[in-house]
Structure 1
Amino acid sequence: MDANGFVDEKNESRLYVGNLDLRINEAALINMFSPYGKIISEDFLWHTRGPKRGEPRGYAFIQYNRKEVIVAAG
């Protein structure tokens, strides 16, 4: 809910996944979380500069089609 009292459905159906093993890739992440519901987007974050450029950051966001899925997955 934002400061005006509105509910942002996108944020309520979005799951933060942290402390990922650096060997996990996007396909493995989707395979792990798809049994819990329909995934409509995923943001797998990568280092974009510096000595770790191109390496995974160790966290991602999964967005499901419904917020109720978060309870089962989280």
Structure 2
Amino acid sequence: MKNSSLSVVILIAVAVAAYFVAAAVAPLQPLYLSIAVIVGGAIVLLSSNGATSDEQPASSSTNESSDGMETQTLYVGNLPYRANESAIRKLFSDYGQVVSVRLLKDKQTGKRRGFGFVEMAAKDAPKAVEALNEQEFQQRTLKVREANERKEA
């Protein structure tokens, strides 16, 4: 039993050391570094910013595009399953500059899930929300609003 306890202590020490190395290297990396530590059968996910996975910072729905333009991400729900990115881009471009369109798909089936996100110029986003929310598109009533901040799993 004593060897088992010593093994757990060594495992935790190695994990903590690896965590601090990851924290030191993280500013040099474009992505967050995370370490999964198994302690007594429970998995604890530590990120390089010192937060556990439940405490990850949320990303704002207002961002800046690569050309320096401030952008806003909009949630678009109740989309027809046959709608594609180009049709949504065309619909929203009537109200301002569209930066990107992402329509989510089910990972297992590959079928569209009926909602997505449109990133557009922040100055144009309120106009698009006002014009398109509760409007009919391909026999479906759209739900358009500012996207909530992302919550990491």
SS of 1:29's equivalent in the other structure is helix
In the aligned structure 2, how far is the partner of 1:8 from the partner of 1:21? 24
Q: Per-residue deviation at 1:8?
A: 6.1
Which of the pair has the greater relative contact order for Cα pairs under 8 Å at 6+ separation?
1
Residue 99 of structure 2 corresponds to which residue in structure 1? 40
SS of 1:72's equivalent in the other structure is helix
In the aligned structure 2, how far is the partner of 1:40 from the partner of 1:47? 23
Give the fraction of aligned pairs with identical amino acids, expressed as a percent.
Answer: 33
Which structure 1 residue ranges, 5 or more long, are not aligned? 1-6
What CA RMSD, in Å, does the superposition of the two structures yield over aligned residues?
2.0
What are the superposed Cα offsets for residues 14-45 of structure 1, whole Å, 9 maximum, x if unpaired?
Answer: 11000001111111111111111111111111
Q: TM-score, normalised by structure 1?
A: 0.74
SS of 2:92's equivalent in the other structure is helix
Cα pair distance change 1:57/1:37, threshold 3 Å:
same
One-letter amino acid matched to 1:15 = L
SS of 1:37's equivalent in the other structure is coil
Residue 14 of structure 1 corresponds to which residue in structure 2? 73
The total of aligned residue pairs comes to: 64
Q: TM-score, normalised by structure 2?
A: 0.38
In the aligned structure 1, how far is the partner of 2:126 from the partner of 2:85? 22
Bigger Rg over Cα = 2
In the aligned structure 1, how far is the partner of 2:86 from the partner of 2:62? 25
In the aligned structure 2, how far is the partner of 1:27 from the partner of 1:72? 20
Runs of 4+ in 1 over 6 A off after TM superposition: none
One-letter amino acid matched to 1:62 = V
